Amino acid sequence: MAAVPATMRAWVVARPGPMESDPLDWVELPVPRPRDDELLVRVTACGVCRTDLHVSEGDLPVHKPRVVPGHEVVGEVIDAGDAVAGFREGDRVGIAWLRRTCGVCRFCRSGRENLCPSSEYTGWDADGGYAEYATAPAAYAYRLPDADDVSIAPLLCAGIIGYRALLRAELPAGGRLGLYGFGGSAHLCAQVALAEGARVHVMTRDAASRALALKLGAASAQGFFDPPPEPLDSAILFAPVGDVVPHALRALDRGGTAAVAGIHLTDIPSLVYEDELFYEKQLRSVTSNTRADGRAFLERVARYGVTATVHPYPLSHAAQALRDLKGGRFDGAAVLVPDG
């Protein structure tokens, strides 16, 4: 086993609340020790996900007090528990949001482990990647495609969840897809949809994000509440703004499906049945992902050359990265990298 220090630097959610109230503390913690079925990973990159913002600001209830956030983790295996097989010291792995499931409930047994009532999540139920070291159950770690660690990191939640949302939106072959919000997840989802023959229309407030959408091949890019130039077969809501749901439903063609990709959404206003739900339109939620979703998405990354637009921040600047995410001050995704 490689030499492992006794302590590490990490961020903890000390006082969940608005980022303006400084809810995170930059602290020194013991380096975690892996359980029998876990890997110990030296973190080389960790994506900054909107879910981290929800955990930090208290939009999601506290599951583990003073949790280390972060669940888009790329790193190097340093140690492993006695029950781990198939991984060696030095292996490059990814740690994602879904951390552990029971494996025996009716959802797990039917291929729907994302709905497991006993599921646990990295950076919410257990410490995540806003740290120099992290642990993960080996059975939930991913083998990674060839690419630099910073570019890979956002794929491990933003990419996988975007892919799950694409499945839930039931986009037909060659269909017309609307994306509401165009941050870390949407810009990866768009690349998969475009590679598979879709026409993509993007609705977002941010001018830089609209420019990125057009650069990636979107057919149009307009304001957040503007109608797309043609009826949609499917729509995905990436922004956690319930007010946009009626707009997305009105933009759907007959029989279309809208999927809400986020773990948190502000209240949805009243819907007008005839305008927004009639003609067999569907509104669906997205809950986490299965490991099969993750493997299928990463295979498409390799096949289609999906790449993340990234903005690196030193690990010690994670709180600033979250404030910039909240303020919409970058397109694509922020990624934390080791200091120095």
pLDDT in tens, 38-76: 999 999 999 999 999 999 999 999 999 999 999 999 999
Judge whether 315 and 340 are in contact, CB under 8 Å.
no
Mean per-residue pLDDT for 296-320?
96
Judge whether 334 and 325 are in contact, CB under 8 Å.
yes
Judge whether 180 and 258 are in contact, CB under 8 Å.
no
Residue 340 pLDDT greater than 90, yes or no: no
Q: How many CB atoms lie within 10 A of CB 217?
A: 14
Confidence of residue 152 (pLDDT cuts 50, 70, 90): very high
Span 233-274, pLDDT tens digits = 999 999 999 999 999 999 999 999 999 998 999 999 999 999
Mean per-residue pLDDT for 286-296?
96
CB-facing half-sphere around the CA of 44: CA atoms within 13 A: 16
The SS3 of residue 111 is coil
Span 324-334, pLDDT tens digits = 999 999 888 99
Total-model pTM? 0.92
Question: Residue 89 has which token pair?
Answer: 């010291």
CB burial of 145-173 (b: ≥16 within 10 Å; e: otherwise) equals bebebbbbbbbbbbbbbbbbbbebbebee
Judge whether 38 and 84 are in contact, CB under 8 Å.
yes
Query: CA 14, CA 26: separation in Å to the nearest integer?
Result: 10
Span 96-148, pLDDT tens digits = 999 999 999 999 999 999 999 999 999 999 999 999 999 999 999 999 988 89
